[in-house]
Amino acid sequence: MKPRLIILSALLTACSPSETPAPSDISGPPTVAEARAFMEAVEAERTELREVAARTGWLAQTHITVDTKLLAGEADKVYALATVDAASRSTRFSELDLDPDLQRKFDALRLASTQPPPNDEALAGEASQLDQELRSIYGTGTYCQGDECRTLGALSDVMAYSRDPQELRDAWAGWRTVSPPMRPLYTRQVELLNQGAQDLGFDDLSDLWRSNYDMSPAEFSADMERQWELVKPLYTALQCHVRASLTEQYGVDVVGEDGTIPAHLLGNMWAQTWSNVYDLVAPEEVAASYDMNELIQANFPDAESMFKTGEAFFVSLGLDELPDTFWERSQFTRPRDRQVVCHASAWDINTNRDVRIKMCTKRNAEDFTTIHHELGHNYYQMAYAHQPQLFRGSANDGFHEALGDTISLSITPAYLVQLGLLEQEPPAEEDLAYLLKLGLDKIAFLPFALVVDKWRWQVFSGELTEADYNAGWWKLRQQYQGVSAPVARSEADFDPGAKYHVPAGTPYARYFLAHIQQFQFHKALCDAIGHDGPLTRCTIFNQPEAGERLQQMMAMGSSQPWQDAMEVMTGQRELDASAVVDYFAPLKTWLDEQNQGRQCGW
């Protein structure tokens, strides 16, 4: 039967089985014509189901009720099952000699689901239920002391602003009381998702995840390590300076003497970004000549005016204005009459340029930057909307995040001057403070991003068993980050589950890639417009030449290997973390000066 989308009120509740041609119903050897017809039907079905999933997902996040969550969960389940079913049946054509474009679609179909359920209805239902349970445990988690219960948001505020080490330790450990119940559920989920990956012809889920980069899984892992080695000296210098500064603040009894930094002292619940401790590590000799928050407050009366300025950035590059529906359908501020998910996100509802942003915007510097970032996603989505369904995505999953952050890197003093927010650019010595604060986020994040998926790859492959989940987690965190647990941990704990992306099953390597690609993109675009000077002062605002290169890359979607898209954007065919090193070179020089006489490393 043709998939029937039954609309209840505004949206769907269920779908009947697919009518995509089932190879098992066809006698005789497969043909190229049959493969092409099969793929056309698959893409038509996926287009329909994906739009329903997007619409129900949007509703569930902008109007949270039991019913909207149920609708979204059902739509996601139907879409996931249809994807896995089509991928499984596509194996009939695996031995055919297909043209490169069609073969890439078949490859993309097999890799489309990052959480493939087993090709069994009962087990798929169990996998879906486990996914919901794990997300629910995380999403509803609180830490209670007596009658007082605190959410992750409240605990994160403590991590960000408190300078009391005991209070920080309590908040850190308190959030990690939420995750131990996830442990048996996660173990079972790994079994089911590994089976789903094996049903698609992969060794396990890590094999599937690492196969999505136009290179072998082993080559991808090796390239990740190679990029890390390029930036490791910069990270080591940053870690050394931060550790010394925290020791001055808290004393050696709190920080310890093994070279690592206790995770609760770094201003973030997961010690993944460190900018919240900037005041403890900043250079005393550099003071900012302007306050970005004050500029935003003085010049933007509301959220929509901030979004209009973000749109003008892209228009200045020669790109189209946003469609009217963007302004009609986006959520810019927190509604007063309903519960919503405030985490900023960019949405691509259908191929008819129905793009939206969901934010609870505040008039501050952080959200001004976020708006430029999220609009980068929307412009990418519109650029590849003409592509076949399976190619409507970024060149690899790092490109989307990198694109948004590349735009954010252009929010420089020169950009603020062109907007009329500043009369003149501040002196160059202020760049050191900017680089340090940015490095506390961007550089500090890189090893954490590596650890999250290295841990899961080990779990999925069986290298790390349930008996050593927590020990394996902290071994990697100490090895790569030089970060340690502030209180004793054991296998009664499940600290990986305290990070959203683990119970949510979201791959994390994309963020590692993005944190390298964004600097590679920024440097290439600055070179293309002939920028002369520090990369921190380069903005591509009002530079159509940069916009033309950007548009050409975005329009490719995932239709070609990411190396081709990288070449269009940068002239290089490989990931290259040396752009990160170049961008932060002045910071590295300063850190080395500060670290003279210190014992660095762990």
Q: Is residue 172 part of a domain?
A: no
How many helices (H) and strands (E) the chain has is answered by 25, 8
pLDDT digit string, tens, across residues 53-84: 999 999 988 998 889 888 988 898 888 888 88
Residue-level pLDDT at 3: 38
- Provide the Cα torsion 493, 494, 497, 502; round to 10°: 170
pLDDT beyond 60 at 24: no
How far apart CA 162 and CA 314 sit, in angstroms, is 39
Structure tokens at 523: 């440097």
- Residue 273 exposure: Cα atoms within 13 Å on the Cβ side: 13
In this prediction, residue 600 carries a pLDDT of 95
Residue 341 lies in a domain: no
Q: How many CB atoms lie within 10 A of CB 499?
A: 21
pLDDT tens for 124-153 read: 889 988 988 998 888 888 999 988 999 988
pLDDT at position 2 is 38
At 129 the pLDDT is 87
State CA 153 to chain mean position distance.
19
Give the three-state DSSP class for 407.
Answer: helix
How many structural domains comprise the chain? 1
**CA 182/CA 194 separation, integer angstroms:** 18
Q: Round to whole Å and give the CA distance between 124 and 130.
A: 10
- Sign of the Cα pseudo-torsion (151, 155, 160, 161, in order): positive
> In the numeric block, which tokens belong to residue 576?
């290259």
- What DSSP designation does 111 have? T
336-340 contacts, C-beta under 8 A, 24 or more apart: 338/62, 338/63, 338/64, 339/63, 339/64, 339/65, 340/61, 340/62, 340/63, 340/64
Torsions phi, psi of 594, nearest 5?
Answer: -65, -30
Model confidence pLDDT, tens digit, residues 407-437:
999 999 999 999 999 999 998 888 999 999 9
What tokens does 326 get? 């963007």
Q: Read off the pLDDT of each residue in 251-265 and give the average, rounded to a whole number.
A: 97
> Taken in order 67, 71, 72, 76, is the CA torsion positive or negative?
positive
Tell me if 121 is assigned to some domain.
Answer: no
The answer as to whether 545 is a domain residue is: yes
Q: What is the pLDDT of residue 117?
A: 87
Task: Confirm if 173 and 486 have CB atoms less than 8 A apart.
Answer: yes
Tokens of 252: 């050696």
Residue 114: DSSP 8-state: S
Percent of the chain with pLDDT over 90: 80
**Cα–Cα separations (whole angstroms), residue 188 to 44, 184, 452, 459, 522:** 33, 6, 19, 12, 42
Q: Which residues have a catalytic role annotated?
A: 343-344, 373-374, 377, 401, 501, 511
User: Residue 6: what pLDDT?
Assistant: 42
Region 552-570: mean pLDDT is 97
CA distances (Å), 95 to each of 31, 106, 308, 316, in order? Answer: 10, 12, 51, 48
Pairing of strands 345-348, 355-358: antiparallel
Domain assignment present for 601: yes
Q: Are 238 and 401 in contact (CB under 8 A)?
A: no
Please check whether residue 135 lies inside any domain of the structure.
no
Q: Residue 26 — pLDDT band, cuts 50, 70, 90? A: low
Max distance between CA atoms of the chain, in angstroms, equals: 78
Cα 468 from chain centroid (whole Å): 27
Determine, yes or no, domain membership for 209: yes
Who wins on pLDDT, 186 or 337?
186
Which tokens go with 597? 């006489």
257: its two tokens: 């003497």
Gap between the Cα atoms of 21 and 5, Å rounded: 19
Predicted confidence at residue 271, as pLDDT, reads: 97
> How does pLDDT run across 304-340, given as a tens digit for each residue?
999 999 999 999 999 999 999 999 999 999 898 888 8
- Asked whether 446 and 584 are in contact (CB, 8 A), the reply is no
Average model confidence (pLDDT) for the chain? Answer: 92
pTM of this prediction exceeds 0.75: yes
Range of weakest confidence among 19-28, 105-114, 209-218, 343-352: 19-28
* Mean per-residue pLDDT, 345-353: 90
pLDDT tier at 111 (50, 70, 90 boundaries)? very high
Q: What percentage of the chain's residues is helix, strand, coil (to nearest 5)?
A: 60, 5, 35
Q: With respect to residue 403, please indicate whether it lies within any of the assigned structural domains.
A: yes
CA distances from 221 to 66, 210, 226, 562 (A): 41, 8, 9, 16
CATH number at 535 reads 1.10.1370.30
Query: Which residue carries 């899961």 as its tokens?
Result: 456
Q: How many CA atoms does the CB half-sphere of 343 hold within 13 Å?
A: 5
Query: To which residue do tokens 């329903």 refer?
Result: 52
Domain that residue 557 falls in: 203-289+366-602
Measured CA to CA, the distance from residue 224 to residue 84 in angstroms comes to: 28
Highest mean pLDDT among 352-356, 531-535, 556-560: 556-560
Q: How confident is the model at residue 5 (pLDDT cuts 50, 70, 90)?
A: very low
Euclidean distance between CA atoms 8 and 15, whole angstroms: 12
Q: Which amino acid is at 171?
A: A
Whether the per-residue pLDDT at 394 is higher than 70: the answer is yes
Calculate the CA 267 to chain-centre distance. 20
